[in-house]
Chains A and B, each alone.
Chain A
Amino acid sequence: MTDPARRRGRCGVLPAVLFAALVSFDGRLRAQDPEPEPERETEAPVPAEAPAKPEPVVAIRAGTLHPVNGPEIKDGVIVIRGERIVAVGPASAVEIPAGAEVLEYPQAHAYPGLVDPLSQAFAPRSGDGIADAGGEMALALDASDERSRALVSSGVTTAYVASRSANVWRGQGVLLHLGRDGPTPFQGHAGAGVHLKLSAQDGPSHALARIERLAGLGTEFEQLEAYEKTFTEHATKLADYEKKFTAWIEWHKQKNGKPASGEAQATPRGGAADAGAQGAPRGEGAPRGGRSGRRGPGGERPPGGENPAPQNPAPQNPTPQNPTPATPTPTNPAQTPNPQAPNPQAPNPQTPAATPAPAEEKPPERPQYPPQPPRDPAKDALIALRDGKLALFVEVDRAEEVTRALELARQHGVKRLVLELATRAADAVAAIAEAGVPVVVAGSELPPIQELGEGVERRPIAALLAERLVPIAIGSASVERARHLPSIAAEAVGAGVPEDVALRALTLDAAELLGVARDCGSLEPGKLGDVVLTSAPLLASESRVLRVLSAGRTIHEAR
C-alpha cells in the first residue's frame, strides 16, 4: 500500500503511470524486435547501483517442469539470476548456486508465465477514442492494481492490450509485462501492432458498407506514396539548402578573410541529419516513436537552437532514437547555433556590420530553410506495417472478411499479418493456412446454434486451424475471462485442439506472434524469469495457481 507506483495506479493518473513505466523501467526487459535497435537500449539506463549489488538468485524445484519449447522434465530446477533464467533442467543436472533462495514445490507443475494476446485488462472503461492507425493504447491505459492482481493470480505475466472500439482503425496496442509494481510496457514495444477491425458485429454490416470501408482502407495505403514523396522532396531541398548555405558562408569568408564570429561553425539549419531522417519517414523509430517520437530532437535541442520564425519552423524529427544521418553533415545541427536565430554573440551576416562585402560585388542570396512537411502518425503507422516494423492485427469474423484481410495485406505489402477471432471463418481456414497467418482466438465457442445448419462445420475455428497447423494464440478478450485463461484453453482442447498446441497458444506461440518470444513464452535460459507454479497440470480442472514469479520476483502466492 505504500508503494508509490501502486498509489498512482489506483488514482488512475495515467501520465504518472506512463512516465513511471517508460522512464523508471530499467531497460533490462529487452524485447525481441524484427530488427535490432541498439539505440533503444540506451533509453532507460540501468540504475547506477545495479552493478554494485549482487543479483538475487532464485531456484525453483518443481515436480514437473513444462518448458513448452521442449519435453517436460520430472523433478526439475529453474535457476533465475536477477531477472533472467540462467538454467533449466533436471535436478540431477542443474546445480543450485550457493546462497540462492530455493523454492521447493515437489508436487507442483511449473510453466512459463502466460501470455494473453487479447487482453482487455487495462483498457479504459469508458472507451479509448482511438480512431486511426496512429493512436496509441499506451497513452490511454487504466493501469489499476486490481486488474493486474486478477491477471497475475491466473498466471498471466504478459498482456497485450489494444483498443476494442467499433472503429475500423483501432490504433496501436501496447505490450505489458506484469510485475511487482504493476504493468509496465515492454522495452521497445510500445506498440506491437496496428489494429484494424473488419468484423461487423457492431459496425456497419451491409455488404455495400463493407465494400466502401475496404475501399477506403486501400486508398489510405495508396496515399502513402504521395506522403513519402513530400519527405523525399524535402530531403532534396535540404541538401540543396545545405549546398547553397555553404556557398554563402564561403563567400563571406573570402570577403572578410575570416568568417565572422559565430559563423565559423555555422551549418545549415537542420542540416542533412534532419534531411536523412525526415526524408525517410519509414526510418527507424518513425513508426514506433508515434506520438512520443513526435517530441523529436527539437525537445532536446538547446533553446538557442530553436527558431521562432514562423516562416521557418523548427524541424520535427520523429526519430529521436536514430540521429544517424542518411547523408554526411558537417556537424550536428543540434549543437550549432542557427544562423537565422537571434543570437547576441553572433552578428547577423545580413547586417552591414557583419558582412562588409565590397559594394561592387553582389553577395549571393541567402538560402531559405525549406519548411518541413507535417508528420502524420497514422500514415507513419501504415508505413511501419508495410516495412514489417509493426504487425497488422485484423479482427475478422466471417470467411469473407478473412479473404479481404489477406488481400489487403498482399496488395499493400503488409509483411506481418495476424488475424483475430475469426469465429465464423471456417470456410477460410485453407486460405489462412496457405497464407501462413497466425490467428488469435478467444476460445472455442461456436457461433450461435441458430446459425448452424445441418452440414455446417461444427468444430470451432481453433480446432480447424490447429488441424491445419496454423499457429494460434488463445486470448481472454475480456477482463472477466482473463481469470480463466487456462480453463478456456482446456475447453479448446476438449473441442479438438491438441493439448500441446493449446499450451503453446497460451505461452510461446502467443509470444512469437507478439514479437516477444526472446523474452517470454518458454522456460529457457536467457528469458525473463516468468514462472507459474500450479497444483496440477495447468489445464486440469482442479489446477490452482500456487505461485507466480515475474522477472524472478514473486508477484503472487496462493494463500
Chain B
Amino acid sequence: MTRTRLVWAIAAAASAVSAQDPAATPATTVVEATRVVLAAGEALDGDQARIALRDGKVVAVGREIAPETLARAQRVRLPAGAVVVPGFVALRDQLDSAADLAESIDAFTPELRAAEAFDPFDRVLPWRARSGVTATVLAPNSLNTFAGIASLVKWDGERGSVAAADGYLLLALVESSLSRERYPTSRMGAADLVRGAFAEAADPLLGIGPEYAVLREVKDGGRRVAIHASTHAELTGAIDLARELGLSPVLLDAAEIENCIERLKGTSLSVALRPLDWGSRTAALQAPAQLAAAGVRFSFAGATGHALRRSASLACKHGLDRRTALDAITRVPAEQAGFGDRIGMLRVGRDADFVVFDGDPIDLTTRLLETWVDGRRVATTPGTSR
C-alpha cells in the first residue's frame, strides 16, 4: 500500500514538472489578426483579435487567452488587415471519386459509407483547401434512392483523412437516381420505396439488418437525413415525404426552391441551395433573400470556396444580408451535415479550421491568403506570402 502510494506520488510529481515545462506540453499557437470572426455576426477586433490553438482545437479566443499562455505560445501575426473567418464547409462533394461513391444497381443501400471510398491522396481535395474549404462532406453519388452515408473528410496539408465517418443519410429523388434496369424507375416508385423502407424499419420482424438500423437512427433523430431534390416536382415530393414520415431533412441541391418557400415556413426542414452562378436564373438569385425573410434555414451546397463565395456574394447582390450569407457557407452547412458541434464556428473546443482573407470574404474582391485546418496552415495563396 505504502509502496503504491509512493509510486503515485512520484508519478504525480513528474507530471507536475512536465506541466511546467513548455517544451513538454503540447504547443499552443496564438494567431493574431486585424479581425477574427468567430461566427457570422460575432467578431473580435483590435487587440482582442486573436485565437489560441492546441491539438487542432480552439482553446481560447480574445481576452480569454491568459497572459502566461500568450507569453509561452508560438505567436503567428497575420498581415495588417487580415480577417480570420471560420472555414467554409462543403456540404456535398464527390471529390475525384464519383464512380466509387454509388452502388447504382441496388436502389436500397443506406448502410454504405462514403468514407470507404475515400482516397487520402485524392488530387482534388488539396484544391478544396486552397479555395477556403476546410471541411468537405464526402457524399454518396445520387445514382440510387438510398444512396448511403456521407462522411466528413479533411486535408492536413499532406494527405486527406476521414474526420468523421458517420454523417447524414442521403436519399435521392433526382432523375439520376432512377433507372430502367431496376426498381424504382419513376419518382412515384422512389417515394413508394422510401415509404415502404421506413415502414419495414419500424417492423421488428422485417426491419432486421444494418440498413434498417440506419433508417431507425434517422427516424429517432440520431442521424441527419438529406434528400437530394432539385426541381420543383422533386422538392414537393421530398416535402410531402418528410411530412408523412415525420422527418426533418435537408433539401439538398434545391435549384427550384422559389415556389416551395411558403410550404417550408414554420417547418423543421432546411435547404441546401444549388450554388449560384453567372448563369443562375433571376428567381434563383432572389431565393436566398426570400428564404431568409421566411425564416427558413438554408446553406449553399457548393464544393469549392469559389462557388460558395460567389453564391454568397450574388445572394447579397439580390437582397441577402452579409451575416446570413456567411452563415450559409459556414455554420449552417456544418449543422446540416451533423457536425455542428465541431466545425462551422470558432468556439473553444471546436476544430481550429479557419481561413484568412484580406477583407470581408463576402466581397469577391477580397483575396484569400491562407487556409488552416485543425490548427495547421495547409495552404497559402501564391503571391500573398508575408
Spell out A's residues near B (CB within 8 Å). Answer: 449-450, 452-453, 457-459, 463, 467, 478, 480-481, 483-484, 487-488, 490-491, 493-496, 499, 502, 539-544
- What's the Cα separation between A467 and B382 when bound, in Å? 12
Place the interface of chain B in its size category: 20 to 34
A147–B47 Cα distance when bound, in Å, is 52
* Partner pick for A449 among B123, B310, B313, CB 8 A cutoff: B123
- Which residues of A are found within 8 Å of B316, using beta-carbon distances? 541-542
Q: Mark B222-258, 1 if CB is under 8 A from A, else 0.
A: 0000000000000000000000000000000000000
Are A490 and B365 in contact, CB atoms less than 8 angstroms apart?
A: yes
CB of B220 within 8 A of chain A? Answer: no
Give complex CA distance A478, B280 in Å. 13
Task: Select one of B278, B306, B309, B322 contacting A481, CB under 8 A.
Answer: B278
Let me know if B278 and A484 touch, CB within 8 A.
yes
**Interchain CB contact under 8 A, B130 and A458:** yes
Other A-B pairs beyond A467-B383, A483-B278, 8, CB < 8 Å: A450-B123, A457-B382, A458-B130, A458-B381, A463-B383, A490-B364, A494-B365, A496-B367
Q: Which residues of A contact B382 (CB under 8 A)?
A: 457-459
Tell me, in angstroms, the Cα distance from A502 to B322 when the chains sit together.
24
List of A residues within 8 angstroms of B124 by Cβ: 449-450
Return chain B residues, CB-CB under 8 Å to A491: 306, 310, 364
Task: Determine the chain A residues whose CB is within 8 A of the CB of B130 once the complex forms.
Answer: 458
Q: What is the distance, in angstroms, from B382's C-beta to the closest C-beta of chain A? A: 6
A488 to B362, CA, bound (A): 14
A499 to B358, CA, bound (A): 13
A to B CB contacts below 8 Å, 7 in the list: A487-B317, A487-B364, A490-B365, A494-B368, A540-B365, A541-B313, A541-B317
Within 8 Å CB of A457, what residues of B?
382
Question: How long is the Cα–Cα vector from A496 to B314 in the complex, in angstroms?
Answer: 20
Contacts of B183 in A (CB 8 A): none
Which residue of chain A lies nearest to B360 when distances are taken between CB atoms in the complex?
A: A541
B96 interface residue (CB < 8 Å to A): yes
B355-377 interface mask toward A, CB cutoff 8 Å, 1 = contact, 0 = none? Answer: 00000001111111000000000
A499, B383: Cβ atoms under 8 Å?
Answer: no
Given the complex of chains A and B, what is the CA–CA distance between A514 and B230 in angstroms? Answer: 42
Task: With CB as the reference atom, state the residue of chain B lying closest to A477.
Answer: B278
Is residue B127 within 8 Å, beta carbon to beta carbon, of the partner chain? Answer: yes
* Chain B: minimal CB distance from A458 (Å): 6
Q: Is the CB of A541 within 8 A of B362?
A: yes
Closest to B362 in A: A541
B238 to chain A, nearest CB (A): 28
Determine the chain B residues whose CB is within 8 A of the CB of A541 once the complex forms: 312-313, 316-317, 322, 362-364
B41 beta carbon closer than 8 Å to chain A: no
Chain B residue contacts of A488, Cβ below 8 A = 278
Q: Are A544 and B317 in contact (CB under 8 A)?
A: yes
Chain B neighbourhood of A452, CB < 8 A: 127
Task: Report chain A residues within 8 Å CB of B313.
Answer: 487, 490, 541
Which one, A453, A496, A540, A543, contacts B383 given CB within 8 A? A496
Question: Which of B96, B278, B309 has the largest number of chain A CB atoms within 10 A?
Answer: B278
**Is there an interface contact between A493 and B314, defined as CB atoms closer than 8 Å?**
no
| B266 on the A face (CB < 8 A) | no
Closest chain-A Cβ to B284's Cβ sits at a distance in Å of 12
Q: Which residues of B contact A542 (CB under 8 A)?
A: 316-317
CB neighbours (8 Å) of A543 from chain B are 317
Q: Of all chain B residues, which has the CB nearest A459?
A: B382
Is the CB of B279 closer than 8 A to any CB of chain A? yes
| Shortest CB distance B329–A (Å) | 13
A449 smallest CB distance to B (angstroms): 5
- Alpha-carbon distance A481/B310, docked complex (angstroms): 13
Convert B120-137 into 0s and 1s, putting 1 for each residue whose CB lies closer than 8 angstroms to a CB of A.
000110010010000000
> In whole angstroms, what is the CA distance A481 to B278 when docked?
5
Residue pair A540, B363 in contact (C-beta under 8 Å): yes
Instruction: Give the residues from 332 to 384 in chain B that come closer than 8 angstroms, CB to CB, to chain A.
Output: 362-368, 381-383
A109 to chain B, nearest CB (A): 14
Residues of B within 8 A of A450 (CB): 96, 123-124
CB distance from B278 to the nearest CB of A (A): 4
A540 to B314, CA, bound (A): 10
Residue of A nearest to B310 (CB): A491
B127 closest partner in A (C-beta): A449
- Residues of B near A540 (CB, < 8 A) are 363, 365
Bound Cα distance from A457 to B130, whole angstroms: 13
B78-125 at interface with A (beta carbon < 8 Å) = 96, 123-124
Interface positions, chain B 241-296, Cβ under 8 Å from A, are 278-279
The 7 A-B residue pairs with the shortest CB-CB distance in the complex, in nearest-first order: A490-B364, A493-B365, A480-B279, A481-B278, A541-B316, A541-B313, A491-B364
Query: With A449-B123, A459-B383, A491-B310 known to touch, is A539 a contact of B279 (CB < 8 Å)?
Result: no
Residues of A with C-beta under 8 A to B317:
487, 541-544
- Nearest residue (CB) in A for B315 is A541
Interfacial chain B residues near A495, Cβ < 8 Å: 367
A493 contacts B364, CB within 8 Å?
yes
Bound form: Cα–Cα A488–B279 in Å = 12
Bound form: Cα–Cα A542–B366 in Å = 14
CB-defined interface of B295-332 with A at 8 Å, one 1/0 digit per residue?
Answer: 00000000000100110111011000010000000000
Q: How far is the CA of A160 from the CA of B278 in the complex (A)?
A: 19
Least Cβ–Cβ distance between A454 and chain B, in angstroms = 8
Chain B residues near A496 (CB, 8 Å)?
367, 383
- Closest A residue, CB atoms, query B304: A449
Of B127, B317, B365, chain A has the most CB atoms within 10 Å of the CB of B365
Bound form: Cα–Cα A488–B364 in Å: 9
Question: In the bound complex, what is the Cα–Cα distance between A479 and B279 (angstroms)?
Answer: 9
Report the nearest A residue to B279, measured CB to CB: A480
Closest B residue to A494 by beta carbon equals B364
- Bound complex: CA A491 to CA B312 (Å): 12
Give Cα distance in the complex from A542 to B309, angstroms: 13
Report how far A400 CA is from B308 CA in the complex, Å: 33
- Across the two chains, which residue of chain B brings its CB closest to A457? B382
**B310 surroundings in chain A (CB, below 8 A):** 487, 491
Report the minimum CB–CB distance from A221 to chain B (whole Å): 37
- Tell me, rounded to whole Å, the shortest Cβ–Cβ distance linking A491 to chain B: 5
B-side contacts of A493, CB under 8 Å:
364-365, 367
Minimal Cβ-Cβ distance residue in A for B317: A541
A487 adjacent to B314 (CB under 8 Å): yes
Q: Which of A449, A481, A490 contacts B279 (CB 8 A)?
A: A481
User: A487: which B residues are within 8 A, CB to CB?
Assistant: 278, 310, 313-314, 317, 364
Q: Which residues from chain A contact B96 at a C-beta distance below 8 Å?
A: 450
Q: Which chain A residue shows the least CB distance to B364?
A: A490
Residue of A with least CB distance to B306 = A491
Q: Once the chains bind, are A494 and B278 in contact (CB under 8 Å)?
A: no
Q: Look across to chain A and name the residue whose beta carbon is closest to the beta carbon of B367.
A: A494
Q: Tell me which residues across on chain A come within 8 A of B123, comparing CB atoms.
A: 449-450, 453
> Which partner residue on chain B sits nearest A496 by CB separation?
B383
Q: Which residues of B contact A463 (CB under 8 A)?
A: 383
Closest to B281 in A: A480
Query: What distance in Å separates the Cβ of A499 from its nearest Cβ neighbour in chain B?
Result: 6
Q: Residue of A at shortest CB range from B314?
A: A487
CB distance from A75 to the nearest CB of B (A): 24
Pairwise interchain contact A499-B365, C-beta atoms closer than 8 A? yes
Q: How many Å lie between the Cα of A539 and that of B359 in the bound state?
A: 14
Q: Which residues of A contact B367 (CB under 8 A)?
A: 493-496
Neighbouring A residues of B278 by C-beta, 8 Å: 478, 480-481, 483-484, 487-488
Q: Which residue of chain A has the shortest Cβ distance to B130 in the bound complex?
A: A458
Residues of B with C-beta under 8 A to A467: 383
Which of chain A's residues has its CB closest to B309's CB? A494
Q: Which of A453, A478, A483, A539 contacts B364 (CB 8 A)?
A: A539
CA–CA, A543 and B306, complex, Å: 19
Complex: how many Å from CA A406 to CA B322? 46
Nearest A residue to B325, CB-CB: A541
- Docked Cα-Cα span, A450 to B363, in Å, equals 27
A487 → B minimal CB distance (Å): 6
- Cα distance A488–B365 in the bound complex, in angstroms: 10
Nearest CB in chain B to that of A482: its residue? B278
Instruction: Give CA–CA (A487, B280) in the complex, Å.
Output: 13
